Amino acid sequence: MTDLPHVANWVDGAYTRASPASIAVVNPATELPVATIDATPRDVVDAIVTRSQQQFASGAWSHAEASDRFAVLVKAAALLRSNLAEFVELEVRQTGRPVREMQTQLARVPEWLEYFAGLARVHEGAVTPFKGPVVNTLTRLPIGVVAQITPWNHPLLIATKKIGAALAAGNTVIVKPSELAPLSVLKLGELFQTAGLPDGTLQIICGYGRDTGKFLCENAHLARIDLTGGLATYRAIAPVAAYNMIPMTAELGGKAPVCIFPSMGSDMEQAVKAALFASFIASGQTCVTGSRLLVHADIYDEFVALLLLRTKALRVGDPTDPETQIGAVINQASVERCSAFVSRAVEDGGKILCGGKPSERKGFFFEPTLIETHSKSDLSCNEVFGPVIAILKCTSEEDIIAVANGTDFALGASVWTRDFTQAHRVAEKIDAGVVWVNGHHLNDPSSPWGGFRQSGIGKENGREAYESYTKVKSTVLNYGVSPAWFDDKAENARYG
C-alpha cells in the first residue's frame, strides 16, 4: 500500500496530513485499492472545529457581501463544469458506477452551486406587521460552523448540495465524506480555493464514520449537523446533538414504491423502461431506488413478462466501458447484504424471477434481481440498497395506495398512469416527501428533497435548505411609542 497515492485532509487551504494512520479506498469493480486517506483522530477534529470557529468569527466569509458570495459560487460552478472529466473518473473509480451514469449525473452538479449563488444574491429579509409606530425587520444571518456527513453513493452530488447551501448563507463548513468514496469530495477544496473562497471556510476531513464522524458530531461548538446516511447513524448522532442543542437535518433511508396502473398497458414498453430506470440506476444504491414495483393485476402478467426480458438483457460489467449499464455495489458487505435479503425473501414465500446471487466476475457485483413477494415481507418493508427489487401484484387503486404507504419509510414514490385524474388523486394520497408522476429520480436544485417518518427530517435543495443554514434576527425599531409603564413621580418610584 506504500505505492498508493495518499490524499490528505483539506484544512485551512492546504492538503494537511492528520496523523500517520490511513484508510485504503478500494475500487469496487476491481477490489483493488486506488488511494489512501487520513484517519482523523479526535484532537485533530476538535482543533479543526476551533479554527473553523475563528474563521467564521473573522467575518472573511460570514460578513462578505451577498454579491461576493455569489461571485465565488458561480466561479466554482464554472470550474467544476470545465473539470468534469476528472471528477467523473474519480467517481467511477471509487463507486464502481458506470461511466455513462456518472457523466450524466455530474454534468448537472454545477447547477446546485449556481442555484444557491443566485439565492444568496436575491434572498430578501422581511418587514412584519407590527402594531403602532414600530418597524420590525427580519434579517437572516449565517449560523456558524456546520458539519456535513456525506455518503458514498452520490459523493459529489450530495456534498455539493450541502456545501452550496451552507456557503451561500455565509457559514463555515466542515465536510466528512464517506471513507468508501471520498476522493471527488476532497478535490473540491482546491476548486473552491481557486474560485476565491477564503481558506478555512471549507474544511474536508476523512476517517471512519464510527470514529472521525462521531468525533465531529460530538463537538459542542457546531451550529448545525447535516447528515445523509442510515437510521442507525442518525440514532447514534441525534442524542448527542440534542444534548448540545445542535439542530439537525437528516436524509435517511427509503423504500420507494413504483405504482403502475392499468392505463400504462397502452404503452407497456414505457412502463417497463420506467421500472428499470427507477430500480436499477446506481445498482439500486440510492435512497429513492424504486425498490417496490406495485403493479395492478390487470396488467401484471404482461408487465412482468416484458420486465424479465429487459432485466436479463441489462449489461453488467466494467464501469469504465460506456456500454455498461449496471456496475458494482460498493463493497463485499453490500454483496452479502443483498444475498441475505434474497434468502429471507425466499423464506417469506417469495419467488425469484431472475438474478438472486452475486456475479461470478471479479469485483463486488450482484445480479439484477426481481423477486415476486407480498407486502409484509422483509424485502417489501426494509431497505436493501442494492439491485434486489420486490414485485407485488395489487388488486386495485386502493390496494396500491395502501401498500405504498405500508412501510416506515416515506421519502420518494412514483405514480405511472395515463389517467390525469387518477394521477392527482393517487399522488395526493401517497405519504412521501417526493412524489413523481410519470417520472422517477427527477431532481432539481430548486425542488425541496427530504422525507417523512423514518426517512428523515428537514430538506435538501431549495429555499428550505438555504434557510435552514440561517438564523432569523428580529430588529424592532420604535419611532413613536413612549414608555408608559411606570409613574414619573419620584415618590412612586421603586429601587432595588
Q: Is 460 a catalytic residue?
A: yes
Catalytic residue among 162, 176, 187, 459: 162
pLDDT tens for 91-102 read: 999 999 999 999
Which residue out of 91, 114, 383, 460 is catalytically annotated? 460
Q: Is the pLDDT of residue 491 over 80?
A: no
pLDDT in tens, 330-375: 999 999 999 999 999 999 999 999 999 999 999 999 999 999 999 9
Q: Which helix (H) or strand (E) holds 136?
A: strand 134-142
Give, to the nearest 10 degrees, the angle between helix 268-280 and helix 300-312.
Answer: 50
52-79 pLDDT per residue, tens: 999 999 999 999 999 999 999 999 999 9
Residue 2's pLDDT is 60
Measured distance CA(241)–CA(251) in Å, rounded: 16
Helix (H, G, I), strand (E, B) or coil at 432: coil
Confidence at residue 481, expressed as pLDDT on a 0 to 100 scale: 83
Report the distance separating Cα 143 and Cα 363, nearest Å: 44
Cβ-based neighbour number of residue 443 at 10 Å:
17
Q: What is the percent of the chain with per-residue pLDDT over 90, rounded to a whole number? A: 95
What letter represents residue 119's amino acid?
L
Q: If you write DSSP's letter for every residue of 63-78 in order, what string do you get?
A: TS-HHHHHHHHHHHHH
How much is the average pLDDT of 177-195?
98
Cβ-based neighbours of 158, under 8 Å, separated by 6 or more: 150, 151, 228, 460
CATH 3.40.605.10 correct for 6-252+455-475: yes
At 15, the amino acid letter reads Y
Would you say 356 and 367 are in contact if contact means Cβ atoms under 8 Å apart? yes
pLDDT at residue 337, as a whole number: 98
Report whether pLDDT(493) > 60.
no
Can you give the residue ranges of every domain in the chain?
A: 6-252+455-475, 256-437
pLDDT, mean of residues 289-297: 98
User: Based on the number of CB atoms within 10 Å of its own CB, is 398 exposed (0-12), middle (13-18) or buried (19 or more)?
Assistant: exposed
- Residues 290 and 352: their CA atoms lie apart, in Å, by 17
Select which of 91, 114, 251, 397 is catalytic.
Answer: 251
pLDDT band at 311 (very low <50, low <70, confident <90, very high): very high
Look at residue 5 and tell me whether its pLDDT is greater than 90.
yes
pLDDT for the residue 489: 63
Tell me what percent of the residues of the chain surpass a pLDDT of 70: 97
pLDDT at 237: 95
Residues in the chain: 496
Residue 494 has pLDDT above 80, yes or no: no
Strands (DSSP E) contained in 297-407 are 351-354, 369-372, 388-394
> What's the rounded mean pLDDT across residues 157-177?
98
* Average pLDDT over all residues of the chain: 95
What is the C-alpha to C-alpha distance for residues 151 and 182, in angstroms, rounded to an integer? 9
Extract the C-alpha cell encoding 124. 430578501
Q: Answer whether CATH 3.40.50.620 is correct for domain 256-437.
A: no
Rounded Cα distance between 390 and 284, Å, is: 12
List the helix and strand counts (H, then E) for the chain. Answer: 17, 23
What pLDDT sits at residue 490?
58
**Is 86 annotated in the active site?**
no
421 class by beta-carbon count within 10 Å (0-12 exposed, 13-18 middle, 19+ buried): exposed
Which of 206, 217, 259, 287 is the catalytic position?
A: 287
Instruction: Name which of 448, 472, 449 is nearest 169 in CA terms.
Output: 472
Q: What is the pLDDT of residue 143?
A: 98
Radius of gyration, CA atoms only, the chain: 25
C-alpha span between 165 and 466 (Å, rounded): 5
